[in-house]
Amino acid sequence: REAPTARSGSAGAPAEGIRAKGPRSSLREQMPGLRPGPPSRTHSGRLPDPFPHPNPRNALHVGSVMCPAGCSHVNGFKVDNWKQNLRVIYQCFVWSGTAETRRRKAKSCICHMCGAHLNRLHSCLYCVFFGCFSKKHIHEHAKNKRHNLAIDLLYGGIYCFACQDYIYDKDMEQIAKEEQRKAWKLQGGCSVLASLAVILKCLSFCCPDCLELLRHNPKRRKITTNCTIGLRGLINLGNTCFMNCIVQALTHTPLLRDFFLSDRHKCEMQSNSCLVCEMSQLFQEFYSGHRSPHIPFRLLHLVWTHARHLAGYEQQDAHEFLIAALDVLHRHCDDNGKKANNPNHCNCIIDQIFTGGLQSDVTCQVCHGVSTTIDPFWDISLDLPGSSTPFWPLSPGGDSGVVNGEGHLTGSTTLTDCLRRFTRPEHLGSSAKIKCGGCHSYQESTKQLTMKKLPIVACFHLKRFEHSAKLRRKITTYVSFPLELDMTPFMASSKESRVNGQYQQSVDVLNNDNKYSLFAVVNHQGTLESGHYTSFIRQHKDQWFKCDDAIITKASIKDVLDSEG
């Protein structure tokens, strides 16, 4: 499941990476009211950087209000033909709706100090000058020339160096929106990959070689709602269905897809032993447009190399493979980032997407003192009715799937009920006394698990395989699950209480930020000794497909929701 987020981007037509010979733009010299004079080369003094890291999540988009009260320095710019000048800048250097303007932009948009194409270029609104924001070349120009206003050529935001912030002006915003709409119309709408405004976000981490490659490969592909790019079968290499179904789920995880397709991974290891490099290549194979099944032999070899408990052609557990794959990807990302020994503070793409925080509260039954710990998690493993763990009904009239609380299989349950059982208080008993920090003695206590921090993508594992000294079996209890799941009741902040066997919600209303949308389901058919894994994955907004190794077939939402899970 993935939380609704605006982080996912879409591809668009790139600007051609042609570097101009001179530092000045002949196009801007034609603008009335602008003084083309030579760019400043002074490197004295630096202004504080109010926006030190060009992170797309923090970037200003047109329409965002960073300074509601407005900026008094804008009035100094609003003279002569300022509207016409601003429109020309948006048309030629920000939104660029035609191939000709894109070519001109690629030639003209270079830093006048270092000659770089990237590094978050800004254009001075008072004269012909382009400068890097990340290297502070535009800051130096603003200080030396006292030109307070500049425009971000990537997102279109207006920056004031006197206020040291992106500013909001109603008139400027209106011009920006009008020119953006014109550019989209010229490009054929936002659904076409020719949207320059979108691709420039991706180009913020491209290298000059990538720009040159894009210039010599002008062919573009249009993505429609019926497009099947990204759907590709995987050859079963001998009981490797457990791997294939997880790979299908990972390659259709939106944020992971965007990360690998934008070539964000910079490997410092040997690429032939790096699982992250192999995953990057796998994403390229999936989204290349080829329809023939892919043979993941290199991926299997690397998994065997780095997770030896999965080596061999015996049947394996898909959940074990998921955790092992995330662990190896996490370690290899860490090895590149030099943070391998600090797992709780990792900022790798795996932790950003999949890591949540599980809060454990242990309450003393004597003094009611609470001891709290928070541990990271990649998945939530849920017990099912029919296991050796007793269950009780949690909703009036609901089928708990047990008889007399003995854990015998009789019917069905829901994912929500499983989560309620997971987060309800549990009495630890007299055989598991814990030393209380308040009583300074060993006392009986209760333990309750709640979600302190939710991951962007939540993975739920239904514990269908039960192993004990006397019993090995698969629990076939049917578990219904929704297309959308609200995790607010299971958060540590929701403060649910149980009264007369019923959960009472606190006054806090359900938070839309905690809602998840279903995008992948992994199923196991068969018995514990002999079975087969398949998966359902979501393509676009509401199209579902069943992935059975090399065979991909269209599926309905009913097929997905009726599956065992």
Over 80: is that where the pLDDT of 255 sits?
yes
Domain map (residue ranges) of the chain: 26-215, 241-351, 356-454
Catalytic residue among 61, 73, 461, 532: 532
Active site residue 241: yes
User: What letters, b where the CB count within 10 A reaches 16 and e where it falls short, cover 138-162?
Assistant: bbbbbbebebbbbbbbbbbbbbbbe
Which of 76-80, 218-222, 362-366, 513-517 is predicted with the least confidence, judged by mean pLDDT? 218-222
Structure tokens at 449: 């698990």
Over 60: is that where the pLDDT of 470 sits?
yes
- 266 contact partners, CB below 8 Å, separation of at least 6: 336
Q: Could you tell me the strand order of the sheet in which 445-453 lies?
A: 370-377, 356-364, 445-453, 426-427
Q: For residues 333 and 55, what is the distance between their CA atoms, to the nearest angstrom?
A: 19
pLDDT at 39: 38
pTM of the model: 0.57
User: What letters, b where the CB count within 10 A reaches 16 and e where it falls short, cover 415-433?
Assistant: bbbbbbbbbeeeeeeeeee
Catalytic residue among 124, 241, 245, 459: 241
Residue found by looking up tokens 């006397």 in the block = 470
Over 60: is that where the pLDDT of 7 sits?
no
pLDDT at 235: 92
Q: What Å distances lie between residue 428 and 365, 433, 443, 446, 448, CA to CA?
A: 10, 7, 10, 6, 10
Q: Where are the alpha helices (DSSP H) in 234-341?
A: 241-251, 254-261, 275-286, 297-306, 318-337
Q: Name residue 550's amino acid.
A: A
pLDDT at 435: 79
pLDDT at 58: 35
- Residue, of 275 and 14, whose pLDDT is higher: 275
Active site residue 132: no
Q: For residues 353 and 347, what is the distance between their CA atoms, to the nearest angstrom?
A: 10
pLDDT at 71: 77
Over 70: is that where the pLDDT of 418 sits?
yes
Q: Write out pLDDT tens, residues 71-121.
A: 778 887 887 778 888 888 888 888 776 777 777 777 778 888 888 775 678
Q: Which CATH class is domain 26-215?
A: alpha beta
Highest mean pLDDT among 185-189, 301-305, 493-497: 301-305
Task: Give the containing element (helix H, strand E) for 541.
Answer: none
Q: Write out pLDDT tens, residues 311-325.
A: 877 788 899 999 999
Q: Where are the alpha helices (DSSP H) in 194-296?
A: 196-203, 208-215, 241-251, 254-261, 275-286
Pairing of strands 149-152, 515-517: unpaired
pLDDT at 30: 37
Q: What percent of the chain has pLDDT over 70?
A: 69
pLDDT at 215: 61
